[in-house]
Amino acid sequence: MKRASGVALFVVMTFLLTAAASVADPPKQEVAPAPNGIRIPEGYKNWRLLSSSHRTDNNTLRVVLGNDVAIEAAKSGKTNPWPDGSILAKLVWKDSQHEKWPAATVPGKFVHAEFMIKDAKMYAVTGGWGFARWLGTEQQPYGKDAAFVQECYACHIPVKQDDYVYTHPSVLP
């Protein structure tokens, strides 16, 4: 009888602990790495604001967030070059029209999240930046093979004088 209650207690405790663990750590959906091996930066949706933009050539709204290194660099105006460890995250949505304010373009379908990761040595062949992009809410990695970064890099060459970055940190009080 005593052993039986001991076993029962063990079973109940195991169940409770397992249940508690499930609540604390919901199974994460694994995001596949980009073809160049870059993994999607954790927690980027919680990063702080660097800037935003609206592109009328492809009808998208963009918000640029930065990790702590990037935000501190922006605050102190030391972004040319951006320091190693800076990561810029650009979140892109298709244009949509606000249903109650037609003159307001608002974020519609989520297009992709793309990143620039600064490491002057590791990414020396692409201006010191590692590039990666994940498509849609499914976060499918962009690019057939590691050479996809040439496309990213080529597009950023016109702003070589700004350390290959189009984003200017927006003015804040």
CB of residue 130 vs a copy of itself: minimum separation in angstroms?
A: 20
Spatial distance between the Cα atoms of 94 and 62, rounded to a whole number of angstroms: 9
Spatial distance between the Cα atoms of 70 and 48, rounded to a whole number of angstroms: 9
Closest to a copy of itself by CB, 53 vs 81, is: 53
CB of residue 128 vs a copy of itself: minimum separation in angstroms?
A: 18
| Alpha-carbon distances of 120 from 19, 26, 101, 155, 164, rounded to whole Å | 45, 36, 45, 18, 12
CB of residue 74 vs a copy of itself: minimum separation in angstroms?
A: 11
CB of residue 118 vs a copy of itself: minimum separation in angstroms?
A: 19
CB 78 within 8 A of CB 118: no
Contact set with a copy of itself (CB under 8 A): 45-46, 48-49, 51-57, 61-63, 65, 91, 93, 98, 100-101, 103-110, 113, 134, 136-139, 158-159, 166, 168, 170-173
Closest to a copy of itself by CB, 1 vs 103, is: 103
Question: For residue 28, what is the DSSP state?
Answer: P
Give every CB contact of residue 31 below 8 A, 6+ residues apart in sequence. 39, 40, 134, 139, 141
Closest to a copy of itself by CB, 122 vs 151, is: 151
